[in-house]
Amino acid sequence: MFSVDIISLPIELDPDKIDSRFRLVNIITQRAKELAHRGKPKVVTKARKITT
């Protein structure tokens, strides 16, 4: 049996801009689509997968 570790980073929320989890999920989805269509990453990382 394999053990899968899930990495979870704390997310800092600005309550003035993001008022619900639904809005947060929509924002994250939009950013993932931008990255999938060759958007420029805002964070330097060693990962090759764009949504990692």
Q: Residue 51 in contact with residue 35, Cβ under 8 Å? A: yes
At residue 38, the pLDDT reads 79
Which one-letter amino acid corresponds to residue 45? Answer: T
Where is 27: in which H helix or E strand? helix 21-36
Is 0.85 surpassed by the pTM of this model?
no
> What does each of the 52 residues of the chain score in pLDDT, given as a tens digit?
445 455 566 677 777 878 888 888 898 899 888 888 877 777 777 777 766 6
